[in-house]
Structure 1
Amino acid sequence: MNSRDTKPGVRFLLSLIEPHDAAGVRQRLGIGEPQPLTDEHAVWELDLLDAPRSVLLWMLERDDPGTNRLVFHRARVDDALKRDILRGLPFGTATGPLPVEIDCGRPYCPHAEPDVPVSRRGLIGGLRDARTMGSGRVAARAVSRPDWPSVAEADRAEPLPGFARWALGVRIDCPPELRERFGSHPKFRNRFRRAGIVEPRDYAELGRPPRDVLAVLYFGTRLFPRRVAEAAASLTPLVRAELGANPDAWAVLAQLLPDFAGTVPELVATSGAVARV
């Protein structure tokens, strides 16, 4: 996808209005029906868009071995996550193991489970010993998906050091309720957002620029549809109220989208207002 291409974003927003209204708008804008997406194409587009790191977790939550294999090969996936993928651990609601065979595209080239060191004092001891950002990251990498309840209980009993808390909080698989306990102040949340840790609703409402946010959601309809539905639920009322079936409002949106620097709700509201003038 060209970095200036706005069709994915417009198509995503059009999916939020009635199908017959969307067909009329597409005709007015000269946007044909999209070609069917494949997982491989969608994840390639997300890489180009530099989507927030949380999308990797949203993909894993599908509990689909094929999707897990795609996540495994992403550059931003750390050894802790790769280890859990290879162990077949579910990230969504599945109850059983999800066997994933990973190879490098050549015969006899399997990926061994990454060697993730654990402190001599054990998982919790290593976290409590973290006194630098580096040692916090090393200790946090030892946490496997089944370990999160123990980590949460240890933090409840006695708060973990700040370096360990931050390193755990920026793990994409850190439970949201634990991350909230680590820091609920808006400044802390902004730091997580800058680190690519987002929830679908916040991403849809606060992410910038809209061109990229909407494209990520469009390609996400293939890779993490449940999470995209959460984002869509927060945008649909505004899109229907401000744009609806008004082709002029959609034409304004298509003109503004390439360079609009605000948020998606601001873009939609502005487009509707301009069309009403």
Structure 2
Amino acid sequence: MRENSSSQRAVGFLLGLVDEPTAERVRARTGLPAPDGPEAHLRRIRRPWAWPGRLPVSVALWILENDDPALNSAVCRHLTTEPGLYRAVLRGIPFGPGRTARVPVESALSGEEPEVPEGYARLGLVGCLRAVASMGTGRTAASMVLTADDWRTVGEADRERPLPGYARWALSVRPDCPPDVRAGFGSHPKFTHRLRQAGVLEGPALYALSYEPAVDVLEMLAMGGLLFPRRVREAEDALRPLVREHLGEREEAWAVLAQLMETFHGTAPELVMTAGAIA
């Protein structure tokens, strides 16, 4: 069976935010296909080169929280700038809340770990972080923070005596940095901007409402039931009021949305409001 296109999957996600009778009526009037089923999403997930766009690193982390070896293998191509997460995956460290059992590692990920910082064996984790003098060495040292115990150790060390600025920076832009540890590093507007640039998100609502292009975001959310099932509801709840207000039961608005989807460069809310206004 032919899979839906990227834009059809994206529209299908938004149609899932209205009641089913309305969605069926819109599909009948506009010719939009039914949404892909779980089997189609599974086939697509197993082809990681076909995933939409470049994932914000927090989205990659949400996928890792499944502790699924196949998903870990697929998402690792998005972790080339996140040596800490990549190292943790290679070591089988779980990301799901409360989990402690080692996660099996697929043979496709049997390559070497990222660089281990010079002096780590001699200075230990905290000593290595205290020796940081540049962003490069900061990122390398921060990549050795792997477990919940490591993060507690880092937080306690920083409260005892603040870590170097570059070390704090590198730790703060790790998407798995616990909120209480990150809060200790500061809350200046420049700090918040730095997190946004690094792709660190407070949650799926921010991803759904503020990332672009809309087609990539919505296509990823369409697979959210498989990729990050614990978190996709938050994105749905953020977009549902906009969809109902600006598209609702208006078949013509949905038709405009489908026409705009592939080439629209703005966010999902901008797309929804634009389609509603044109219709």
Q: TM-score, normalised by structure 1?
A: 0.84
Q: CA deviation at 1:172?
A: 2.8
- Describe how 1:172-183 pairs up with structure 2 within 5 A: 172-183=175-186
Q: Which amino acid aligns with 2:264?
A: F
Moved more, 155-164 or 6-15: 155-164
Asked whether the 8 Å contact 2:69–2:106 carries over to 1, the reply is no
Q: Is 2:209 the partner of 1:205?
A: yes
Alpha-carbon distance between aligned partners in 1 of 2:77 and 2:54, rounded to the nearest angstrom: 15
In structure 2, what is the Cα distance between the partners aligned to 1:70 and 1:35?
20
- Cα deviation, residue 91, structure 1: 1.0
Q: Is the 8 A contact 1:210 1:267 kept in 2?
A: yes
Q: Which residue is 1:170 aligned to?
A: 173
Deviation digits for residues 41-87 of structure 1 (CA, Å, limit 9, x no counterpart): 13626645112222221111113333234334656274433442344
Aligned residue number for residue 136 of structure 1: 138
Query: Closer, same or farther in 2 for the Cα pair 1:257/1:177, shift >3 Å?
Result: farther
Could you tell me how far 1:140 is from its partner in structure 2? 0.6
Give the stretch that moved more between structures: 240-249 or 81-90. 81-90
CA RMSD of aligned residues (A): 2.7
Q: State the alpha-carbon separation in 1 of the partners of residues 51 and 6 from structure 2.
A: 15
- Summarize the alignment of residues 93-242 of structure 1 with structure 2, pairs less than 5 Å apart: 93-104=97-108, 110=110, 116-117=116-117, 118=120, 120-146=122-148, 147-198=150-201, 199-242=203-246
1:261–1:74 CA distance, 2 compared to 1 (3 A): closer
How far is 1:220 from its partner?
A: 2.8
Q: 1:76 to 1:227 in 2, by over 3 A?
A: farther
Alignment of 1:25-40 (within 5 A): 25-36=26-37, 37-39=40-42
Partners of 1:158 and 1:200 in 2: CA distance:
34
Shift in alpha-carbon separation, 1:189–1:114, aligned structure 2, 3 A: closer
Partner SS for 2:122? coil
Quick check: 1:260 aligned with 2:264?
Answer: yes
- Quick one: distance in 2 between partners of 1:212 and 1:119? 42
Aligned length: 268
Q: Which amino acid aligns with 2:253?
A: A
Q: Which residue of structure 2 lines up, in the alignment, with residue 50 of structure 1?
A: 54
**Identical counterparts, % of pairs:** 47
Q: Which runs of 5+ in 1 are unaligned?
A: none
Q: How far apart in 1 are the matches of 2:246 and 2:82?
A: 42
Give deviations 1:144-203, integer Å, cap 9, x for gaps.
123011112222223222211121122232223433443434443233222222231111
Q: Which runs of 5+ in 2 are unaligned?
A: none
Q: Aligned pair in 2 of structure 1 residues 113, 267: CA closer, same or farther (>3 Å)?
A: closer
**Structure 2 contact 132–164 (Cα < 8 Å) conserved:** yes
> What is the one-letter code of the residue matched to 2:238?
S
Aligned pair 1:64/2:68, yes or no? yes
1:9 equivalent to 2:10? Answer yes
CA distance in 1 between counterparts of 2:93 and 2:227 reads 18
1-structure distance, mates of 2:266, 2:218: 13
State whether residues 26 and 249 of structure 2, in contact with CA within 8 Å, keep that contact through their aligned partners in structure 1.
Answer: yes
Deviation at 1:14, TM superposition (A): 0.8
